[in-house]
Every structure is written in structure tokens, then in C-alpha cells.
Amino acid sequence: MTGWTTLVQAETLAMALNRNDLAVVDCRYSLLDPNAGENTYRASHLPGATYAHLERDLSDMTPPGDGRHPWPSATQLANRLSRWGIGPTTQVIAYDDGDGAIAARLWFLLRMLGHEKVAVLDGGWARWTALGLPVSSSPPTTAAQFRAQYDATQLAFDSVRLFDADDVEAHLHTGGMLVDARSAPRFRGEEEPLDRVAGHVPGAVNRPYAQNLVDGRFKSPMLLAEEFRALLGSNSPTDVVAMCGSGVTACHNLLAMERAGLKGAGLYTGSWSGWISDVSRSVATGA
């Protein structure tokens, strides 16, 4: 299938904005102010972009015990996509104003629906505006309503690559690899600004997602492949489950791995905030 499936460069996207099969999704979001991303979207965004809120659109905040950003159902996501005019053949581009982590969440959500033509804007909003590329304050046009839409009743996520806490324990018990995308101080338990318990899942290894970037953009596929192969050792990508604090920034590692040609890793959707929701689960600290 042709199309952008991992990253797209700003200069390339700028020449394709008029494509009728293209949907651009603004994923800007701040943990410090959940309304900030949507407010900045209303002020200025890529032409034709729609807005996706991390908690309202890319998570299901109703179930308890599934971490800070619980994975939505396939039906919920499909309804959102259809509302945005996105169908199975649409080329989707996601961006945010940070390092690509929120956009990568949408990328992996779509991948788990089997949607291949989805990519993250490399460098995001910062690089787009630094290049002086066009922006708009207008809402997306209604023309998107005429695109083919998803049938929510026919969809299911790829459950093989989505793990809960019990799956993670079994995965580690059989020699699988758990890669935590949080910063090293959080992984070691030296600080914890977001969750009530500091530390990491026993047996996990640390790969801070920020290591995927240089100057706000993803490293080359060759360099990412070299670094991840060194981390994985004899493990294959399908032996890997990614996690983070709430199942968001872990998707950045999954995107980087696929960019490097290392496909098939899974995601612990609840991640650290889901793990510590059960006080009986063990916690490790240190390196």
C-alpha cells in the first residue's frame, strides 16, 4: 500500500495539502492545562486540520484502574474518525507542538485498527511554523463528510499487540522484554511528578523516548535501528512491549522502532499508572 506510514516532512506535506484523500489531525495537548491545545488550535493550525483531544478523543476516561489515559474502544475511535471524515483509505497526518508523542498516540491507535496510511509530521508545529508554511484559523470544511467512513460495528483492535497488566507479567515470565519510555529519573524512582508511586515494573528496561530525537526531529532510520538493536540484543521486535506513564509516550518508541524497520512490538496500554493501581503489584527502583 502506498502512502506515508511513519513520518512525513513538513516540506513534503505542504505540497500535498490539497489532496482530497488527506486528513490532518492536530493533537496538541498539555498535561499542565488540558484546554491549552484546543485553544491554540482555534487560534492557528495547519490548513484543513481537525482537532483531537488526548483525553476526550484518544482515550476513554471512564473505566477505573486502567491508568491515566485508558485505551478507547474500537467503536469509540471509529466514531471519532468518521466524525472527522476519515475512512479506511484516507491518508492521515498527525502532529503536535511538542516532540511528536501525542501525535504518535493517534498513529498507533490507527495502526491497531489496521489503518496503514497514517504518519506523524516530523518536527510538528514548531518546524512547520519555523519554515513559514501556511496556517489557518478556519475550521475544517464539510467536504470531508463525503469521504468513505469507518463502520464502527465491524472493527476491532489488534489485541495481540495490546497488553494489560496480567499480559505483561506473563510476557516477562516467558522472557519477553518490557521497554519503559519515561525519563531515567522517573524510571529509577528518583522523582515522580504525575503518579502516586515512583519506580518501575520489575524486569523493565529504560529507553527514554526523547532519545529518538535530535533537534526536535526523529533520528535517521539507520541510527534508530542501531540503537534499538543494541537495546534489544537477541530479542526480536515482537518480543518487545512498550510502556511509559500512561500509554502515550510509549507510542513514540513504537513509531521510532517501525521507522527503523523493527516492526511488531506491543503496547502496555495502562503503563505505569495502570500498574500501580493495584497495590499488590511489585515496584522496583534504581537502574
The three grid cell numbers given for residue 227, joined into one nine-digit string: 540503537
Cell numbers given for 29: 495537548
**What would you measure as the largest C-alpha separation in the chain, in angstroms?**
54
CB 202 within 8 A of CB 237: no
Expressed in percent and rounded to 5, the helix, strand and coil fractions of the chain are: 35, 15, 50
94: number of CA atoms within 13 Å, CB side? 33
Question: Distance between CA atoms of 260 and 1, rounded to whole angstroms?
Answer: 18
Is 244 among the residues known to form the active site? yes
**Which residue type does 61 have?**
M
Angle, CA 200 vertex, CA 194 and CA 202 arms, to 5°: 160
Active site residue: 8, 52, 101, 244, which one?
244
Check: CB of residue 93 under 8 Å from CB of residue 117.
no
Residues 79, 161, 189: CA angle, nearest 5 degrees: 105
Residue entry with cell 522472557: 175
How far is Cα 193 from Cα 173, in angstroms, rounded to an integer? 30
Q: Count of CB atoms within 10 A of residue 165's CB?
A: 21
Is residue 210 within 8 Å of residue 249, measured between CB atoms? no
**Sequence-separated (6 or more) residues with CB below 8 Å from residue 150:** 78, 81, 82, 86, 87, 88, 113
Known catalytic residues are 244
